[in-house]
């Protein structure tokens, strides 16, 4: 049987961002975080919450699996820790599901923050009833079983973005952003600055200034008139 070197790898221990940094990110939406990274780390627009209002903010536990196969996703329930976000690379296949109500319930019981899968999800009504934040490419019915292959806590791709174990995952109605673990403090600082600037501009508008004044639009517009 042909075998990739990562097939069967399960890394039980990973390094996660500091808890205070994770908590500080909760005041930021995915758009603000993406702005702070110059639009880097943004997953494909198709990966969206299965219902509006779902949000995740936590370190990634990664799973690499054959599309439609749940073996290593099931095993990840032994690895995930409270606050983690399961990130599943299932090849982007929208016609098969890699997670459902049962799996979601296992992860919720383990304290997981939510899950992001580059494939479909099924039992979406049941997952929504659990209020377990789930982001996927589609809602679909088909699955293939649980025979493998796969791996846990190895580098994966999800939505066109490379995700390493322990990277910070931010997701909401607009989509999902990946913050490299090594850069979380720098990105947080920039996101805070973006938020402060946005709040300052809003205060100036409320005080009576025009948007053109606040954004200093005239010099830029004048450049197009010359």
pLDDT digits (tens, 9 = 90+) for 49-97: 999 999 999 999 999 999 999 999 999 999 999 999 999 999 999 999 9
Higher pLDDT, 225 or 59: 59
Assess whether pLDDT exceeds 90 at residue 198.
no
Assess whether pLDDT exceeds 90 at residue 4.
no
Where does the pLDDT of residue 118 fall: very low under 50, low under 70, confident under 90, or very high at 90 and above?
A: very high
Q: How far apart are CA 153 and CA 142, in angstroms?
A: 25
Measured CA distances, 151 to 90, 98, 170 (Å): 11, 14, 23
Return the CATH superfamily for domain 19-189: Ribonuclease E inhibitor RraA/RraA-like (3.50.30.40)
Per DSSP bridges, beta strands 156-158 and 161-163 are: antiparallel
Q: Are 41 and 191 in contact (CB under 8 A)?
A: no
The most confident of 6-15, 44-53, 143-152, by mean pLDDT: 44-53
pLDDT of residue 1: 62
User: Which distant-in-sequence residues (6+ apart) come within 8 Å of 106 by Cβ?
Assistant: 74, 77
Work out the average pLDDT over 23-44.
94
């Amino acid at each position: 049987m042909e075998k990739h070197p990562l097939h069967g790898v399960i890394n039980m221990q990973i390094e996660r961002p500091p808890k205070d940094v994770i908590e500080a990110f909760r005041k930021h939406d995915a758009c603000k975080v993406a702005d702070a990274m110059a639009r880097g780390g943004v997953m494909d627009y198709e990966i969206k919450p299965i219902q509006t209002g779902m949000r995740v903010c936590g370190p990634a536990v990664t799973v690499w699996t054959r599309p439609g196969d749940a073996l290593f996703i099931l095993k990840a329930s032994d690895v995930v820790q409270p606050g983690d976000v399961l990130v599943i690379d299932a090849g982007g296949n929208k016609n098969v599901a890699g997670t459902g109500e049962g799996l979601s319930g296992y992860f919720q019981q383990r304290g997981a923050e939510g899950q992001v899968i580059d494939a479909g999800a099924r039992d979406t009504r049941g997952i929504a009833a659990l209020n377990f934040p789930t982001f996927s490419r589609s809602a679909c019915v088909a699955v293939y079983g649980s025979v493998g292959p796969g791996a846990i806590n190895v580098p994966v791709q999800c939505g066109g973005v490379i995700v390493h174990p322990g990277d910070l995952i931010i997701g909401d109605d607009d989509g999902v952003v990946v913050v490299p673990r090594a850069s979380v403090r720098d990105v947080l600082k920039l996101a805070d600055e973006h938020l402060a600037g946005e709040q300052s501009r809003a205060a100036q508008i409320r005080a009576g200034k025009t948007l053109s004044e606040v954004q200093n639009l005239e010099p830029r517009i004048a450049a197009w008139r010359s």
